[in-house]
Structure 1
Amino acid sequence: MVRPTRGPGVPRDVGGVLPPRARGRSSVVFPPGRAVPSLPRGRAVPSLPRGRAMPPEQWAAHHTVVVRTLLVLLVAVPVYALARGHDLASTALHTVPVALLALAAWTPSLGRDTRAAAAALGLMTTAAMAVQLSDGATEAHFLFFALLPLAALYAARAPFLLAVAFVAVHHLLVGTLLPHHVFAHGPDPLPMALLHAAFVLLESWACLVAWRHFDDRREHVEALVAARTAELSAQRDELARLAAVVQSTDDAVVTATPDGRMTSWNPGAERLYGWAADEVVGRHASLLSAGQDLPADLTTLGPGTMERRQRRRDGGAFDALVTLSVIRGDDGTPTGVAAITRDITGRKRDEAEARATARQLEQQAGELARMALHDPLTGLANRALMQDRLEHALADRRARRHAVLLLDLDDFKTVNDTAGHEAGDAVLLAVARRLESSVRPADTVARLGGDEFVVLMEDVEGRRDVVPVAERLLGALRRPVEWGGERFTVGGSVGVTFTDATDGRGMDDLLRDADLAMYVAKAGGKDRVRVFERGMREEVAAQDELVRDLRAAVGTGELRVLYQPQVDLRSGAVTGVEALARWQSATRGLVEPAGFIPVAEATGVIDEIDDWVIAQACAQLRAWDDAGLPPLRVAVNVSPRRLTTGDLAVGIAAATRDAGVDPGRLEIEVPEAVAAGPDAAAGIRAVRALGVHVAIDDFGTGASSLSRLQDLPLDRLKIDPSSVALLAAGAAAGSVADAVIALGNSLGLQVVAEGVEQPAQLAALRSLGCDAAQGHLFGSPVPAATVERLVRAGRPLLGAA
């Protein structure tokens, strides 16, 4: 049989109980929190319990009870003896054995077992003396039964067995040999001895059962106590840990009654709020709230976590995260609340900064995405976005056709050259807005780069949907753009192509075809709309062939220079000539400047032509000098691009050096629209630094600024032929020519009139004070030999003034 006993895991000092006694049976350990098994039921086993060593304090307490009882009996024995009429000697004889045993039981120097045995024997000896003094009275025998259980208080075998053995020996041996000392019931002692033995055995059995049950109950109680003690110890440790956490945490831990009266305040609360515990305990929790009312019953707020504004002792408010728990009694009734408060001001600030950063990153991501798909200057779609939309449009089989319009600005470079890139950007922005407002909402306008734009029109029927839109685009471009007090007008040329589901053209193919159409429109006079046709490829091929022939003409001698005389209107003498390039093609015949100069400018061949004409003019000056002609000045037209490349002055210096002529004998003519540009101005100054003269060509037709012209190192102004032509139809006063001449005089510049063809024009120019003139009236462009003959003749042309 296995009984529950306290195992080695149970604390030693629990209610004065030592660890379990050494037994011959197993021990069961009950951990804290585990239910203790009920006591074993059934009849007690007949075996005598082994007993166990009691704790010293418990054994001493039990022994004290036995010894005190023995001392009382020690006094009672002589008193009883004297009462029964015994003399002092007999009384002493009956008392001495009990006294000796009592003395042995009381002596501290003796061992526990010896003292217990002496006490048990003393008890039984006292009972025997009482029986003997009573002459074997039956009532006296009950003293054995009354004292025998005291021997069981030691919970050990030896004292109990000694007591039982004493009774057995006393009744059997003394009762047989001296029956009158034990029994008072006749001469036959055996029946009485057996009867008393039966009573002794019965009581012994009762003591055994009581002892067994007492021992089991004690083990059960000890197990319960040990389990409960372990549980309480664990709870105590847990509470100690929690208390340590509460005391050490930086969070405020506060408890309060349901009505809000604060009952505890940890150091974290003191650090967070600024109040000491004795300043706030007993006060209402509203002391801590900043502008937020608390309910009458705080338990209605929890349990849960909430954000609240809290107030410090100095009046400062902060954001706090409050975790509220409801404290309940054993019956579940709320008895208070516990609040853990944490300052989250920094966290909320970090969260706000993180949200702001996230928004900023999102905006930046959106901006990057926008920049990746849009032109940074105009905000229009770029090539990538246009290609994406065109691919989606081509993939839509439900749509009928799509149109791609390629628009290239005319004369936009003049804006950059005359007013700078800021003005050019302003023009591009204005153009972008006008293009967007001129198309359908569903159409896409993109800038491909520079001054080139493209429009995607989805789901169109054909020309009748697209050409009017293209015309509107050109009409929008014709309106001047105002910037910095100036007005710029740029035109455009539009090439249109349509998608065809059967030809499989992609974006690059469509843009190439639209570009061909635009190129044809520009070559046809600009400011036009052309729709792509297959035959345009032949036109472009012919144009490419023209460019190849023109490049070859520079080196093969097909180009030649003619010279148109410039006449001094006062003396009528030829003072200079203008060098004009002509192309005498072996296959094309004579090609006028209008037939190849625009192509040369568009393809860059003009640079080679300019250098060749300058070299020819310098060489001709040298030849005339060698022929003995009076010094003449040669004017050469240069393209606007040569002024911006920065190498014109280098080329002129090399040409004059190679020819051995003074650079001051050379004059370059610059269009008015280009002359005032920042890049062109730098080129003009570089050329003028060589001594080369500079003239503004076609003055009066451009949009130059007087202040800018004043800053340039100029020598002459040339009146445009269209202004000269007007002089034949009316009075000269108040004309453009009059204004140009007056301006030239005010700036100290010579004025040369171009395109003079009628005597009336000549007379008007003389009356206005024009310095020089050229035109068919004086002579058409002629070879150098003809100029030499005119100069050698030495007579005025058409008479002097």
Structure 2
Amino acid sequence: MTQPAGTTGTQPDAEGVAPTRPRGWARAVLPALPHGRAMPAEQWDAHHAFVLRALAVLVAAVPVYALLRGTGPGPAVLATAPLLALASVARLPSLHRSTRAAAAALGLMATAAVVVYLSDGATEAHFLFFALLPLAALYAARAPFLLAVGFVAAHHLLLGTLVPHAVFSHSAAPLPMAALHAGFVLLESWACLAAWRRFDDRREQIEQVVAERTGELRAQRDELARLAAVVQSTDDAVVTTTVDGTITSWNPGAERLYGWRAEEVLGRHASLLSGGAPLPADMTTLPPGAQERVHRRRDGSVFDALVTFSLIRGEDGRPTGVAGISRDITGTKRREAEARAAARQLEAQAGELARRALHDPLTGLANRALMQDRLEHALADRRVRRHAVLLLDLDDFKAVNDECGHEAGDAVLVAVARRLESHVRPADTVARLGGDEFVVLMEDVEGRRDVVTVAERLLGALREPVPWGDERFTVGGSVGVTLTDPTDRRGMDDLLRDADLAMYVAKSGGKNRVRVFERGMREEVAAQDELVRDLRAAVDGGELRVLYQPQVDLRTGAVTGVEALARWQSGSRGLVEPAGFIPVAEATGVIDAIDDWVIGQACGQLRAWDDAGLPELRMAVNVSPRRLATGDLAVTLAAATRASGVHPSRLEIEVPEAVASGPDAAAGIRDVRALGVHVAIDDFGTGSSSLARLQDLPLDRLKIDSSSVALLAAGQAAGSLADAVIALGNSLGLQVVAEGVEQPGQLAALRSLGCDAAQGHLFGSPVPASAVEHMVRSGRPLIAVA
């Protein structure tokens, strides 16, 4: 490989390595001869050993060949001695390897020369040079190769020319023959040179490839070492299997997780780990990625495992196995379940708190806050739709609490809430504002008539008795209604105030009524307030008066007692009947002062009649239900009788049936009865008192309500409510008094039933005290004696 003409320096070969330029005569003789690179010691030793073995065989074969050619032992030994010497030098480890290579190359060529000499120049013997010359190229170095080529050239050119018969056995001219052989040697040398060059280039490429591959393998080894360290140190179980499921690797994490040691499971099928769905016959069909499976430990216990499967592929890309990474997620799933349960509980608690914040805790109805929110939303589009607000307040509810306690009152409130909800539309909102006050929001109503119909339906539902143990409570209600219209500018507070105003008017007008707010209602309320002021002034100003209605013994027809009835003779209003001021007095508390005044007047009148010489009469006085609960009625009665000098047994208080059996009222009745004052149950038959509680009360008389008396007719009294009341009174040892007797037929029916006494317009209307005195003094029976 000579340099092209006109170039200087060296050119890199195909691998980019610039060959070292020969120096001295070698540069002139063989400018393309590669300098060669230092061969690794192991490789050089292998090549040298091969050359030495070949040389040893040749050295051993030379004397044998000499003897076969007829040479004596002496010449055979002499021919072998230099060869043996060169072979021995080539074997000396103390010499530099270049020296040993040179000795080996010379030994090879010398062996060929000796064989040619012993063969007397036989042509075939010359082929040994061609066979041995490539061995000198095994060292991939200049020195041994040039020595070998130089030896052949000297042997053929010099010796072949000077001593032809020692080299050539034919008769041809020595010089041409020597040149011919030299040409063959040079041709072979060129072939060896080309092979050497290609080998050197190839070796460089191989070394580079080997170096690169070695670097890659080292990187892979380091990476595998790191992965192996991770696999060995991880807490997760790492298991590999063959395609058919045979376990091939088992890390310490797997030992800890499953309880088996590696030697116990390697070679066994992975199905021993499965505690749930069976594994497929071909493990490579498992879906890659993470999945939950049930696995089994050595002790037989099962657990939830999160397993991540991945395929193991060979160099050709085909699956050769499966790797699985498992971890126990039983605790994680339990914690997740606990977290979900806690979240649901917190959500429920938050919902409950929100519900409590917006709903009444007793009835479950919307509270004031929720009603306010819904009313504000409704008012946002009132220009398009009409709405109604119904404010409902229970009548006589306080008596339930006073008589039977708050537990009974709560039962009534809950029953009222359910009835209100069941008698409105599903879209309507029912709320409890507090106490016994409820409000109903009706959105998108047609008109006033529809709203009033709903309100009356609600009142009808309230009138149904509410059972509570042995008790049955009947409460009514008063409803105030206010309506919006497209021109309305009232806010929520204004609407509630107007509904409350309408409800107040309904309650003051006799209760159990519905009133729709009207603009003139404010004046009506103002008038009502004025009525209250006038009534308070009437008590202190002497405008009240007492009329007396006689009570007649139905057996003798004689007047045995009277009932004191309050009237109001107003200077500006004229005579005001009880229905015109008693409800207002009860609603405002003025009734207490009226009761005290009437009791004082009744006791004083009894004393005046006694002083006038009239027979002793019994005085019946109506008292407000609230007086029994306050506990001061007995004190008032004691003070009045003491001041008038009238014995308490001359007095009789009339208590409404609806409140008579309550615990607070019962205590008040016992206190009154302890004074000696008689007690009568008024309007019996209209309430729902407990018979068992009536038996425990110290009662004297039952008064049949006038509505029951009005139903009586002569000859048709049997089976009536009056009949039942009279029979009950007789069974309890109580006298029975009938109220509101106005017809002779009613009187006849009462007599036939065995009623004890009666009062009503048939015997006389309420009259002043002087008329009673005249009536009693006349001694004339008011009715014919039966």
After TM superposition, the score normalised by the length of structure 1 is 0.67
Shift of 1:63: 1.8
Shift of 1:695: 3.8
Q: Which residue of 1 aligns with 2:39?
A: 53
What fraction of aligned residue pairs are identical, expressed as a percent? 64
Change over 3 Å in CA distance of 1:409–1:196 after alignment to 2: same
Change over 3 Å in CA distance of 1:135–1:616 after alignment to 2: farther
Match of 2:512 among 527, 546, 549: 527
Shift of 1:148: 3.2
CA distance in 2, matches of 1:501, 1:242: 82
Q: Which residue of 2 aligns with 1:62?
A: 47
CA distance in 2, matches of 1:474, 1:708: 28
CA distance in 1, matches of 2:574, 2:200: 143
Report SS of the residue matched to 1:533: coil
Q: Which residue of 1 aligns with 2:586?
A: 601
Match of 2:453 among 438, 458, 468: 468
Preserved contact between residue 672 and residue 704 of structure 1 (Cα < 8 Å): yes
Letter of the structure 2 residue corresponding to residue 598 of structure 1: P
Shift of 1:451: 3.6
Change over 3 Å in CA distance of 1:694–1:80 after alignment to 2: farther
Q: Which residue of 2 aligns with 1:498?
A: 483
Letter of the structure 2 residue corresponding to residue 489 of structure 1: T
CA distance in 2, matches of 1:724, 1:330: 110
What are the within-5 Å matches in structure 2 for residues 19-58 of structure 1?
A: 46-56=32-42, 58=43
Report SS of the residue matched to 1:496: strand
Change over 3 Å in CA distance of 1:94–1:548 after alignment to 2: farther
Preserved contact between residue 284 and residue 321 of structure 2 (Cα < 8 Å): yes
Preserved contact between residue 243 and residue 284 of structure 2 (Cα < 8 Å): no
Letter of the structure 2 residue corresponding to residue 530 of structure 1: R
CA distance in 1, matches of 2:711, 2:76: 182
CA distance in 2, matches of 1:722, 1:659: 34
Preserved contact between residue 434 and residue 477 of structure 1 (Cα < 8 Å): yes
Preserved contact between residue 550 and residue 561 of structure 2 (Cα < 8 Å): yes
Letter of the structure 2 residue corresponding to residue 75 of structure 1: A
Q: Which residue of 1 aligns with 2:103?
A: 118
Q: Which residue of 2 aligns with 1:509?
A: 494
CA distance in 2, matches of 1:360, 1:45: 96
Report SS of the residue matched to 2:387: strand
Change over 3 Å in CA distance of 1:769–1:138 after alignment to 2: closer
Change over 3 Å in CA distance of 1:220–1:88 after alignment to 2: same
Change over 3 Å in CA distance of 1:432–1:619 after alignment to 2: closer
Preserved contact between residue 292 and residue 304 of structure 2 (Cα < 8 Å): yes
Preserved contact between residue 480 and residue 500 of structure 2 (Cα < 8 Å): yes
CA distance in 1, matches of 2:372, 2:584: 30
After TM superposition, the score normalised by the length of structure 2 is 0.68
Report SS of the residue matched to 1:525: coil
CA distance in 1, matches of 2:494, 2:282: 80
Letter of the structure 1 residue corresponding to residue 507 of structure 2: K
Preserved contact between residue 322 and residue 342 of structure 1 (Cα < 8 Å): yes
Change over 3 Å in CA distance of 1:185–1:243 after alignment to 2: farther
Change over 3 Å in CA distance of 1:246–1:300 after alignment to 2: farther
Shift of 1:473: 3.4
What are the within-5 Å matches in structure 2 for residues 4-153 of structure 1?
A: 46-56=32-42, 58-79=43-64, 92-130=77-115, 143-153=128-138
Preserved contact between residue 435 and residue 473 of structure 1 (Cα < 8 Å): yes
CA distance in 2, matches of 1:77, 1:772: 172
What are the within-5 Å matches in structure 2 for residues 279-298 of structure 1?
A: none
Report SS of the residue matched to 1:530: strand
CA distance in 1, matches of 2:59, 2:634: 150
Report SS of the residue matched to 1:405: strand
Change over 3 Å in CA distance of 1:299–1:203 after alignment to 2: closer
Change over 3 Å in CA distance of 1:655–1:324 after alignment to 2: farther
Change over 3 Å in CA distance of 1:280–1:48 after alignment to 2: closer
Letter of the structure 1 residue corresponding to residue 34 of structure 2: L
Structure 1, unpaired ranges of 5+: 6-22, 27-43
Of residues 264-273 and 162-171 in structure 1, the stretch that sits farther from structure 2 once superposed is: 264-273
Shift of 1:371: 5.5
- CA RMSD, 1 decimal: 6.7
Deviations 1:244-275 (A, max 9, x none): 67998558866564xxxx54487759986999
Letter of the structure 2 residue corresponding to residue 698 of structure 1: D
What are the within-5 Å matches in structure 2 for residues 313-324 of structure 1?
A: none
What are the within-5 Å matches in structure 2 for residues 165-184 of structure 1?
A: none
Deviations 1:63-115 (A, max 9, x none): 22211222233334445566777776665554433322222222344454443
1:698 partnered with 2:682:
yes
Q: Which residue of 2 aligns with 1:35?
A: none
Preserved contact between residue 246 and residue 253 of structure 1 (Cα < 8 Å): no
Preserved contact between residue 702 and residue 729 of structure 2 (Cα < 8 Å): no
CA distance in 2, matches of 1:224, 1:481: 103
Letter of the structure 1 residue corresponding to residue 489 of structure 2: G
CA distance in 1, matches of 2:583, 2:449: 32
Shift of 1:704: 1.9
Shift of 1:535: 0.5
Preserved contact between residue 465 and residue 472 of structure 2 (Cα < 8 Å): yes
CA distance in 2, matches of 1:373, 1:522: 29
Shift of 1:224: 5.0
Preserved contact between residue 701 and residue 736 of structure 2 (Cα < 8 Å): yes
Report SS of the residue matched to 1:598: helix
What are the within-5 Å matches in structure 2 for residues 364-513 of structure 1?
A: 375=360, 377-378=362-363, 380-396=365-381, 399=384, 401-440=386-425, 443-513=428-498
Report SS of the residue matched to 1:401: coil
CA distance in 2, matches of 1:131, 1:112: 29
Shift of 1:538: 0.7
Change over 3 Å in CA distance of 1:739–1:403 after alignment to 2: closer
Deviations 1:110-144 (A, max 9, x none): 45444333323333443455566667777666544
CA distance in 1, matches of 2:144, 2:327: 69
Change over 3 Å in CA distance of 1:222–1:636 after alignment to 2: farther
Letter of the structure 2 residue corresponding to residue 403 of structure 1: A
Preserved contact between residue 721 and residue 754 of structure 1 (Cα < 8 Å): yes
Change over 3 Å in CA distance of 1:642–1:105 after alignment to 2: farther
Report SS of the residue matched to 2:51: helix
Report SS of the residue matched to 2:480: strand
